[in-house]
């Protein structure tokens, strides 16, 4: 991990960003789904029977960094989430979408991502 930290930034994007490296093909990952703006992968530490991350292809640090210019990317993320929920059999039963922002919320990778959770009745959070 230290080697990754030394790599620095490329074009304003942290070169050690795991999600950016996945999108670039530097880190192999099985994509559940993908569109022009985002891709979806299964979480390696699931909190529900279905736990999928919807990740924008463009590096956005977190929800605090969202600007008006990100509107199309965000729409693409939500459309992809809807399609993934349908393909996973969650569209009728229901599912949760929620952004984590910062370490106190449990955000472990500093790249915006939208967790999709379902497959069981989900209790209240927080």
State the CATH number of the domain containing residue 54: 3.30.428.10
Residue 34, in any domain of the structure: yes
Q: State yes or no: is 51 an active-site residue.
A: no
For residue 43, tell me if it sits in a domain. Answer: yes
Classify residue 56: in a domain, yes or no: yes
Question: Quick check: is 106 in a domain?
Answer: yes
Residue 35 domain-assigned (yes or no): yes
- The model carries a pTM of 0.87
Number of domains in the chain: 1
User: CA neighbours within 13 Å on the CB side: how many for 8?
Assistant: 3
Query: What is the extent of the structural domain holding 86?
Result: 28-118
Is 46 within 8 Å of 118 (Cβ atoms)? Answer: no
pLDDT digits (tens, 9 = 90+) for 56-109: 999 999 999 999 999 999 999 999 999 999 999 999 999 999 999 999 998 999
């Amino acid at each position: 991990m230290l080697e990754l930290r030394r790599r620095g930034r490329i074009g304003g994007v942290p070169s050690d960003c795991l999600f950016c490296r996945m999108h670039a093909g530097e880190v192999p990952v099985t994509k559940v789904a993908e569109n022009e703006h985002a891709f979806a992968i299964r979480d390696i530490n699931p909190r529900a029977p279905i736990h999928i991350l919807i990740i924008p292809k463009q590096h956005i640090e977190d929800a605090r960094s969202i600007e008006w210019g990100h509107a199309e990317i965000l729409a693409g993320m939500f459309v992809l989430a809807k399609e993934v929920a349908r393909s996973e059999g969650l569209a009728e039963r229901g599912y949760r979408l929620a952004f984590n922002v910062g370490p106190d919320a449990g955000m472990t990778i500093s790249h915006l991502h939208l967790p999709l959770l379902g497959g069981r009745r989900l209790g209240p959070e927080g």
